[in-house]
Structures are given as structure tokens and as C-alpha cells.
A = this chain, B = another copy of it.
């Protein structure tokens, strides 16, 4: 056992997340702690909620953080919305769709899954047809599934859900801030995210927003915690939420005016989440999305020029991560090790049906930058060469430079 201080090695994290956190976020976490109900603390929580309303492009009062990783946010929404026996529709186009199914099942839902091939997405028509057939209470749909790099179009789904009186939840962990997600305009009822992708922070806090419809559903299951009021009873008539930690009715009362004690806020992660949102609000959400689109395009053109093929339906790729077929005869894991050992660059492996077939390379959050894209393409060229593939020298970075030059011509910016 080493009891030395931990000094992490230098790494450029160009996988599907986590990525290098913005140094401003790391610094924010070293601010001193304050008490849970200190006026400065509740003001900080209120500010953070307001900042996330801008990140989610919503007026939802119920916008808050779940203290846990992005998966904690997913489970909080699903276990709070789903009563045992409720029908849930999960259109799944990758591993994180399967995760929604799994969590919804554990919450007691009667889960109906429709599947798209990995590398494809759903049409609104196919989702509406499934809604007509299943008549679910809840539609649970990933926006960006890093396992396939696909981004499900959501713009038309909210209206379909409203027409059929279905609650609409999306897991935007991997996509938020890298791809458009105007929550109110697209009529979503619940969205959860994490900090470790396009938000440029560490994993461990799950920004979450809930519409009034979602809040009404959750409030109908409100339950007063024993010890706080001396009584144990369901106040709203709905069945008791199966989790205490993820009971959004209680968490709403903790973040809301009632300020009822629930968990002890993970203050350092709150500081991190606040700074992540501040960075995005300073930049502007459309600008952040455009930045991810630009660097994602540069990366894709670079890997194509190196002779590699991107995976999946490119019309629906997330801006912030690209799947790349591993060339025939190349040991994908060996090349990843070389990239890590020789260049300190991490790119991603893959899960399930894509395991051993594609790498996943991300350009997100703090790492959606020109220098990270250029460096990754340069190192990739060298490691491919070493692995026996013969890309044209300078082709990858050349193609990326063209994307940047083209952008500069069009916008007059560098």
C-alpha cells in the first residue's frame, strides 16, 4: 500500500468521458466549506439553480443537482416518476438505452423496449407508433449515447408525448452543452446530465430539471421522512417512492423554500457544478454547441484523411464524440496503450457489439479545442504507422487545419 500523496500523471483525455476538467472547476472545488443552511450556502444553491436553468434553457423552478454521478440522476428521475406496474417505453439505440431499461425495471416499471441498430437512431414516427401501442406513462430516451456516438433527434418528440399524455424524460449526460437541448422549447418533462462530458467538470454531480407535469407526478407520491415530522405517511396518495436517497419529492423540499433537511449537500461538488454552469453561461449555450460542432468536425475530417472510417449514421453523430473503425490487422487495445504510454493521450474502447471493432474519440468540454484535436491526430498518425498502417504523412492534421481555416474564412474568427 502506498500512503504517498496522489500525484496523477499528465493525461489528455480524448475518450468518451470523463475528460480533463477545466482548471477553473478544479480550483472552485478547493473553496472552503460552509454550513448547509448558512445563508451564503442557500444563496449559492439558488444561484446554481438559476445557472442551470440557462444551461437547460428552461424556466423550470425544479432545476437542481442530485448528489451522485450521472447515473444517480437517471435513477432519481426514474424511481421518482415510475410507480410499480407503470408502463414505460424505452427506445434503445445503445448501451445507455439498455441502462434506462434496467433502471426502470428495477424501479418496478413494466418496461417496453424498441431497438434501433447500434449506429442508428429513431424516427419520430416510429416512436409515436410505439407510444400508440404501449400507451406508456413515461417515455425514457437517451439523447446522446456514447456507446454508439449517436444523437437521437428530440425536437419533435415532446409534442408527440404531450399529444398522448406521456411524460418525456431524456438522459442528456453525454450530449448536454455539446448538442442543442432547449428543454422548454422541445417540451421535455425531465432531463438529467453529469459534469464529466461537455460540462468540463468531474463526475459526481447530476444536474437535473423537471417540468411542472413531472413535479406534479412526484408530489403526488410525497412522503414525510420519519424523524423530521414524527410521522410516516404518504401525503399525496401515490405509492411511496422506493428510494429515500433518490426521493425527488424530498430533494425538491431540500432545494426549495421549505429547505427540509435531506442529505448533507456534497458542497465541493456543488461548487464544481456551479463553476461548470458559469463557464457555459459566460460562453453562451449556442456558442458552446458551435464549438463542439467545429472541433468534432475537425476531428472527423482528420480521421477520414488518415484513412479511417467513422462509425454509424453520420447525420446523427453527436458533435462531441466519434466512433472510428479499427483498421483490419490492427490490435486496437495495443494501439490505445501506445497512445497512452508514448503520448499520454487516452482514447476510448467500446462495449457490447462494438467491442474490438471501434475506438471512440471525444472532443468535449475543456478538451473541445484546436490544440487537443491537432495533437490527437498527430499522435494517431504516428501510432497507426507504428502498427503497420501507412496513412499519408500529415494528412490528418492537414484535413483538420482545413476545417479550421474554412471556419475562419466564414466567421472571421480564429
Contacts and interface: CB of A to CB of B under 8 A. Distances in A.
Interface in A332-346: 340, 346
Q: Is the interface of A mostly helix, strand, loop or mixed?
A: loop
A318 B242 CA distance: 32
Interface stretch (A18-26, A149-157, A183-191, A284-292): A18-26
Contact of A47 (B6, B10, B30, B94): B6
Contact of A264 (B7, B31, B70): B70
A98 interface: yes
Interface stretch (A221-229, A322-330, A376-384): A221-229
Contacts of A230: 352
Count copies of this chain in the complex: 2
Interface in A79-109: 79, 94-96, 98-99, 101-103, 105-108
Contact of A272 (B11, B35, B268, B281): B268
Given A68-B67, A70-B264, A245-B72, A32 B8 contact: yes
A71 B66 CA distance: 13
B268 A75 contact: no
A360 to B, nearest CB: 12
A40 interface: yes
Nearest to A36: B18
Given A6-B47, A102-B226, A266 B204 contact: yes
Interface residues of A, number: 95
Contact of A267 (B30, B31, B99, B202): B202
A14 to B, nearest CB: 10
A19 B80 CA distance: 31
A388 interface: no
Interface string A246-284: 100000000000000111111111011011001001100
A29 interface: yes
A317 interface: no
Contacts of A105: 232
Given A8-B44, A244-B71, A275-B5, A35 B346 contact: yes
B101 A226 contact: yes
A38 to B, nearest CB: 7
B32 A6 contact: no
Given A10-B32, A102-B232, A352 B75 contact: no
A275 B2 CA distance: 12
A194 B31 CA distance: 19
Contact of A242 (B13, B28, B227, B242): B242
A147 interface: yes
B3 A20 contact: no
- Top 7 A-B residue pairs of the complex, sorted by shortest distance between their CB atoms: A204-B266, A98-B227, A1-B50, A95-B227, A202-B268, A98-B226, A26-B30
Interface of A: 1-3, 5-11, 13, 15, 17-21, 26-36, 38, 40-41, 43-44, 47, 50-51, 67-72, 75, 79, 94-96, 98-99, 101-103, 105-108, 147, 194, 196, 202-204, 225-228, 230, 232, 240-246, 261-269, 271-272, 274-275, 278, 281-282, 340, 346, 351-352
